[in-house]
Amino acid sequence: MTTDTTPNPQTPPAAAPPLTETDTRVLLRLRRIEGQVRGLQRMIEEGRDCHDILTQLSGVRSALDAAGEQILEQYAGGCRARPGETITPQDVVRAVKLLRR
Amino acid sequence: MTTDTTPNPQTPPAAAPPLTETDTRVLLRLRRIEGQVRGLQRMIEEGRDCHDILTQLSGVRSALDAAGEQILEQYAGGCRARPGETITPQDVVRAVKLLRR
Amino acid sequence: MTTDTTPNPQTPPAAAPPLTETDTRVLLRLRRIEGQVRGLQRMIEEGRDCHDILTQLSGVRSALDAAGEQILEQYAGGCRARPGETITPQDVVRAVKLLRR
Amino acid sequence: MTTDTTPNPQTPPAAAPPLTETDTRVLLRLRRIEGQVRGLQRMIEEGRDCHDILTQLSGVRSALDAAGEQILEQYAGGCRARPGETITPQDVVRAVKLLRR
């Protein structure tokens, strides 16, 4: 029998575009955020006090907002558009509303 | 003796108080948030478009805020206070400011 | 001559408690905010550009938030409670949620 | 000559462009917000309780945000730009940041 041909849902589709420099930077931020969220879980498990936990949670929130802003800027530059889409200023307004929801 | 004496940095200190029901609920939320942040990374790697990514990011933000609110309510009830601390209304205002920063 | 007895709709009812020092400070802030909102109207009428207008609008928003925080602190101190109400930490959480809505 | 030549600081400069329909709608909103801020002052003077005041304050905040969004949309459409400026998606991102500050 030949190797496993089951599609792995995690695998990016063949067509996935190469990562830009901003993509790499956003990914790095998200990895750090993931670690911070794990840190939050540990703080709860360790019975840490409310101030420490809320300070950490507030940091995660800021980090997320910064990532969102970076994605938005990238989008305004034409990247991460739907295939064939040209970004207009109105598109950016629509993207901003997604962020606020 | 052969038991493992390697300290595990993840292990809560012996004094960690037992988890309350709210703790368990907050932990569940945080685990879900961690998964969502991993999902965001995958979306970037797969070259997904800006709208999908920002919609997901906005969901993570709301989930974080909900977790923060739950922690705050728990704190107002006297839980997660520093040992020996009695929570006053002013303490809650201070905690809220941590969240907003 | 008799004095003017026309009821002035602005006049606080006889039972209005004396203003605290914080009240006076909040009122001053609100008066300034009122002026800033009038300034915004003038900027629109004068055809001022978007950046100037949004900068001013953002300033009004911060000023409002600062006023809200001051009212919240006052409340946590027991002031501005409903007559006979004793403020608990839970009440403050409820007040914070009003602010976020 | 006897006509009033006193410059009225409220008068828009001669060059003020005619108001668009959106301008008129934003102005209406701002006038309503101004009234709400005056209402807030009255509530303080009357000694109203914290919940009523914070509910009203939260309403003013939402109304301000809605006005900001309307101005942003108008800007994305090319209106309210600096004279000679063509709006790019990047300009909108910059405008959004002004709003968030």
* Least confident segment among A46-55, B59-68, D5-14, D91-100: D5-14
Q: Is residue D2 included in any domain, yes or no?
A: no
pLDDT level of residue C9 (50, 70, 90 thresholds): low
Give the residue with greater pLDDT, A66 vs C99: A66
Q: Is residue D85 included in any domain, yes or no?
A: yes
Burial grade of A18 (CB within 10 A; 0-12, 13-18, 19 or more):
exposed
C chain contacts of residue D47, beta-carbon cutoff 8 Å: 12, 15-17
Residues 72..91 of C with a Cβ closer than 8 Å to B: which? 72-73, 75-78, 87-91
pLDDT at B78 over 90: no
- Buried b vs exposed e over A63-83: b needs ≥16 C-beta within 10 Å? bbeebbeebbbbbbbebbbee
**Cβ separation C90–B75 shorter than 8 A:** no
pLDDT attached to residue D3: 46
- The structure tokens 């991460």 sit at A80
Q: How many CB atoms lie within 10 A of CB B20?
A: 15
pLDDT attached to residue C5: 47
| CA nearest to B44, candidates D89, A21, D52 | A21
Q: Is residue D9 included in any domain, yes or no?
A: no
Tell me which residue in B38, B61, B71 faces A54 most closely, judged by beta carbons. Answer: B71
Q: What are phi and psi of D69, to 5 degrees?
A: -65, -40
The conformation of residue B8, written as its DSSP 8-state character, comes to P
Q: Is residue A11 included in any domain, yes or no?
A: no
Residue B12 is encoded by which pair of tokens? 């809560």
Alpha-helical regions (H) of chain C: 21-45, 50-76, 89-100
What type of residue sits at position B83? P
Q: DSSP letters along B14-65, please? A: TTPPPPPHHHHHHHHHHHHHHHHHHHHHHHHHTT--HHHHHHHHHHHHHHHH
What type of residue sits at position A57? L
Q: How far is CA B42 from the centre of its chain?
A: 22
Q: What is the pLDDT averaged over residues B54-74? A: 94
**Which residues contact residue C79 at a Cβ distance below 8 angstroms, ignoring those fewer than 6 apart?**
C20, C22
Give the residue with greater pLDDT, C79 vs C64: C64
Are the C-beta atoms of residues A81 and D83 closer than 8 Å to each other?
A: no
Give the residue with greater pLDDT, B67 vs A99: B67
| CA nearest to A79, candidates B53, D15, B18, C60 | B53
**Cβ separation D16–C46 shorter than 8 A:** yes
CATH code of the domain in which D35 resides: 1.20.58.1000
Residue C88 is encoded by which pair of tokens? 């608990």
Q: What is the pLDDT averaged over residues B46-52? A: 91
Nearest residue in A to B52, CA atom: A98
- Per-block average pLDDT, block size 10, for chain A (101 residues)? 49 70 95 98 94 94 94 89 87 89 66
Q: Is residue C48 included in any domain, yes or no?
A: yes
Domain that holds residue B41: 21-100
pLDDT attached to residue D14: 57
pLDDT level of residue B79 (50, 70, 90 thresholds): confident
**Cβ separation A75–D96 shorter than 8 A:** no
pLDDT level of residue B80 (50, 70, 90 thresholds): confident
Q: Is residue B41 included in any domain, yes or no?
A: yes
D chain contacts of residue C31, beta-carbon cutoff 8 Å: 41
Alpha-helical regions (H) of D1-101: 21-45, 50-76, 89-100
pLDDT attached to residue A81: 85
- The structure tokens 């939260």 sit at D58
Are the C-beta atoms of residues D72 and C83 closer than 8 Å to each other?
A: no
Q: How many CB atoms lie within 10 A of CB C96?
A: 22
pLDDT level of residue C65 (50, 70, 90 thresholds): very high
pLDDT digits (tens, 9 = 90+) for C11-45: 555 567 789 999 999 999 999 999 999 999 999 99
pLDDT at C10 over 70: no
The conformation of residue B4, written as its DSSP 8-state character, comes to -
Distance between CA atoms of residues B63 and B32, nearest Å: 9
Q: How many CB atoms lie within 10 A of CB C4?
A: 7
| Number of structural domains in chain A | 1
Residues 23..82 of C with a Cβ closer than 8 Å to D: which? 23, 26-27, 30-31, 33-34, 37-38, 40-42, 44-51, 53-55, 57-58, 60-62, 64-65, 67-68, 71-72, 74-75, 80-82
Distance between CA atoms of residues C93 and D8, nearest Å: 48
Q: Is residue C6 included in any domain, yes or no?
A: no
pLDDT attached to residue B1: 43
Angle at B34 between CA B28 and CA B40, to 5 degrees: 140
Are the C-beta atoms of residues A19 and A56 closer than 8 Å to each other?
A: no
Q: What is the pLDDT averaged over residues C80-86? A: 83
Q: Is residue A55 included in any domain, yes or no?
A: yes
CA end-to-end span of chain D, whole Å?
Answer: 50
pLDDT attached to residue A28: 97
| CA nearest to C48, candidates D80, D64, D21, D71 | D80
pLDDT attached to residue A3: 47
